Structure 1
Amino acid sequence: MTTPLLIILIGFLIFLGHYLAQLFQRTKVPDVVGLLLVGMLLGPVFHLIDPSAFGRAGRVFTNLVLVFILFESGLEVRFEQLRSALRGTVLLTTLNFVVTALVVSALAQWLTDLDFLSCLILGTILGGTSSAVVTTLARQVTILPQTATTLVMESAFSDVYTLGIPIALISFYTSSSFNVVTLAGQLVLALVGALLAGAGGGYLWLALLHRVPTLLKTRFSTPAFAFILYGVVELLQFSGPIAVLFFGIAVGNLPLLRRGWLRAVLPARTVELTTVEKDFFAEIVFLLRTFFFVYVGLSIVLDDPWLIALGVAMALVLFLVRIPVVLAAADRQTPQFDMALMSIMIPKGLGAAVLATLPAQRGLPGGAVIQTITFAVIVATTVGCTALFFLLDKGRILGFYQLFFRPPRPVDATAPGGKSDAGA
């Protein structure tokens, strides 16, 4: 595709993103599906654009999207929500990762010729959720703030598992060097380091804003600092996404932090992001997520009908096993609508797609099989999640999930549960 045509296409995609967003307001059909479809038509269907042509720029772009989305999401989280959601988030993230990895590994061991370790690599690659998809859908329905916070934090926390464990297993496969204790220590260190870096980065940036007022006149200085924080944390081999999320939480909660002994160390004058800055971030996130989902569609590789069918079947099983995971991890006072929404939020993202290419690059015998199944699961879970989201919001499938989730006691008639919850 020539440069003029590519520029025209970029402009067309921006208009398409706005149109699909307005279409969602009228029909409740998530725009993610349309953007994915456009990407697949441009890439694996008609081969108009080759995603490999983007090279490292594609990886940079996806990380850029995550920085913006997680930072903006963090700005909306309040400490009260964080406190109430943290325990459930850790349990949900860990339990979902373990169950997903075991289920996918067992199905792959049964239905493919992959060896045990390759099956385990496949399972751990698919153990997380996509931050971009989850945060997009969670904002488009009325749910408890704690539920939205749990889902956003799960998608960020799962990166610790899905980045660390598959790479360690691949290294073990290729070099026969693997230590469970060392891996567990690295995961804990990555999590704690990211939390401290995010919170410390928030304090440092707010102190800079207090001492250098000219920074307040720019709209891009805060995300620029978020980029620096992400890069530094990743270089230290911690979790950049978690650090950026907690950086946003720290920036959005400064007035709540200035209590007790913290008054002595925090800036005397409260510095907050303006409404104009927050609107600017929201517009940037909208544009980036539009191109992100098109890029995901471009990156899909589907070349084996049997493995594609197997990936779709795995996705269906994962939607079912998510129900007992939510039952075990969620608070019993969570409304049924929120529990149902949590049960469908298992989309796999581009991070899984990138990891799926590593086994083939490292020369693993089953590398091509792992890659094809992973891409099929990404498409099936993303499309399935958005389709179930539409049906749930319309109240079509809420009755099915009510078979598993009991209403909270005492029943709070004023608790938000979306339009469908009110009509249930």
Structure 2
Amino acid sequence: MLKSYFEENPISKPDPGGSGYNFLPEGIANLQNTLANLSFGDSLIASAPILLLAASVVIIMGVLGEAFFKKTGIPDVLFLMVLGVIIGPVLGIIQPEAVLEIVPYFAAVALIIIMFDGGLNLHLGKVVKTAHFSIILVIVGFAVSVGIVGSFAHYGLGWEWIDSILLGSIVGGSSSIIVFGLVKKLHISEEAKSMLNFESALTDIFAVIVAFVLFEAILSGEFSLDLLGVTIGKAVMVGLVLGFGVGIPWMFIISKLKNAQHSYMLTIGMLFMLFFLATSFGESGALTALVFGLMLGKKNYFTRVLKIKFPEDLIDDSLHNQVTFLVRAFFFVFVGLLASFAQIEYVIFGVIAAIAIYIGRIIITKTVLVRGFSKLDIKVTSVMIPRGLAAAVLATFPLSMGLPNADAYPQIIFFVVITTVIITTIGLGGAKKIPPPESQSGGYVKE
């Protein structure tokens, strides 16, 4: 394509008096006009001014959506995903092919920042107190989701069992990006917040590990439960060793650099380095980012244990909140860009699968949370089923690997994601009618 363009529109010609080339002004002008006019119909991405306009709309909608959430309890993620559908599939400002090209890069950054933020905001004592509830929700909830979606895919779409289970694994857990953002603003008990945060972090990691084991199984034609157990164990071990092993020394370093102009950027740089190291070992960079954030966020605990005084704020909260906001806002628009309405059966399948996941979640919640939680805690837990980052990212790998039914994964998973987000949105709206726990003051949503 490029070769034919430059054959028809040369920008230089040989210099007859020497060995060099003379540039043609008209050729350069043609090239500039061509680049400037790349737009909706014949390019993957619109022209720079249009793209910047889209970015400004995303930021404005993100801010307005956050304010709207505080007033109504309706999550902003739904509006941002719809915005993604509008600027992608509807208007064609960004084409699906371009989205698929940048998925690995953008998703990695979003995953790192959001998991790090989740670790900063996890209450270690509350996590330990409710860890058994979280682990039960992870294991039972993931298994039920895989069973429901896998059975639907096998009997409804006629897929092979291993392909069906892979689809179920990809949408098996709630999205930590969405859950972390929501529970931070909900007036539920601290125990429920920690439980939901911990659960979503674990299911994101669990989904990634199980999906990649199944990718290898499909490509090689072999699958082993022993391999799955070893893979999960190695991922947890590497994540903990890197997160804890670097987290404590980094607190010493950053405390000495507290007044440095770019101390926060240094921390982000170290975070990216840890993610690289974890993935280089073939393990979970997400868990490493979570543990690293947990270490830096629990300075008071380590002050008591290590008998060392750390500064009040190791992390620039204002800057970190702005960075996290930008990543979240663009991520949800990014999910909307993956939407495809090409085959109606995939739309119907995604919606039905999401509803079935919700019904299973209600049953699991009522079975597991039998004591210690208020009605509001239980209601919020029962509707907290949004799928997001892990599902959206994993949906693209079958395409690059050439797996069976590869083109179906992004289409189905988008509608599972958006339907589960809608269910969560409606459920949280209904939860507003339930009074908060007695230990909490004010309304359902923090002002």
> What is the TM-score with the length of structure 2 in the denominator?
0.83
> Which residue matches 2:346?
307
1:364 and 2:437 aligned: no
Deviations 1:123-180 (A, max 9, x none): 1111112111111111221111121122122222113321122222232222223221
Structure 1 residues 418 and 227 mapped into 2: Cα distance closer, same or farther (>3 Å)? farther
Residue of structure 1 equivalent to 2:310:
270
Number of the residue aligned with 1:406: none
Distance 2:255 2:108 in 1: 29
Task: Show structure 2 runs of 5+ residues with no match.
Answer: 1-45
Q: How does 1:66-85 map to 2 (within 5 A)?
A: 66-85=111-130
CA-based RMSD of the aligned residues comes to 2.4
Whole-Å Cα distance in 2 between the matches of residues 66 and 369 of structure 1?
24
1:419 matched residue in structure 2 = 443
Flag the 1:72–1:362 CA change in 2: closer, same or farther, 3 A.
closer
Asked whether 1:186 is paired with 2:231, we answer yes
Aligned: 1:279 with 2:318: yes
Q: Does 1:99 align with 2:157?
A: no
Aligned partner letter, 2:439: A
Q: Any conservation in 2 of the 1:215–1:221 contact (CA below 8 Å)?
A: no
Change (3 A) 1:173 1:213: closer
- Larger gyration radius, structure 1 or structure 2: 2
Q: Report the CA distance between 1:251 and its aligned residue.
A: 1.0
Residue 341 (structure 1) aligned to one of 369, 373, 380: 380
**Change over 3 Å in CA distance of 1:304–1:5 after alignment to 2:** same
Where do residues 128-207 of structure 1 align in structure 2 (5 Å cutoff)?
Answer: 128-207=173-252
Aligned length: 400
**Which residue of structure 1 lines up, in the alignment, with residue 359 of structure 2?**
320
Instruction: Judge conservation of contact 1:322–1:344 (CA < 8 Å) in 2.
Output: yes
The separation in 1 between residues aligned to 2:162 and 2:211, in whole angstroms, is 10
In the alignment, the residues of structure 2 paired with residue 107 and residue 93 of structure 1 have an alpha-carbon distance, to the nearest angstrom, of 21
2:369 paired residue among 324, 330, 337: 330
- Say if 1:141 and 1:418, in contact at 8 Å, map to a contact too: no
Q: Deviations over 1:219-277 (max 9, x none)?
A: 322222222222211222222122211211111212212445x44xxxx33234258x1
Does the aligned pair in 1 maintain the 2:100–2:396 contact within 8 Å?
no
C-alpha displacement of 1:369: 3.3
Q: Deviations over 1:199-232 (max 9, x none)?
A: 2221021122245556476332222222222221
1:390 matched to 2:445: no
Q: Secondary structure at the match of 2:264?
A: coil
The residue aligned with 2:18 is: none
1:243 corresponds to: 288
Q: Is the 8 A contact 2:51 2:93 kept in 1?
A: no
Code of the aligned partner of 1:294: V
CA distance in 1, matches of 2:258, 2:185: 35
Structure with a larger share of its residues in helix: 1
After superposition, what is the alpha-carbon deviation per residue over 1:83-113, rounded to whole angstroms, capped at 9, x for unaligned? 1122222221111111110111112222111
Inter-partner Cα distance in structure 2 for 1:213 and 1:29 = 38
Percent identity between matched residues is 26
Inter-partner Cα distance in structure 2 for 1:376 and 1:30: 17
Determine the C-alpha separation between the residues in 2 that align with 1:417 and 1:352: 36
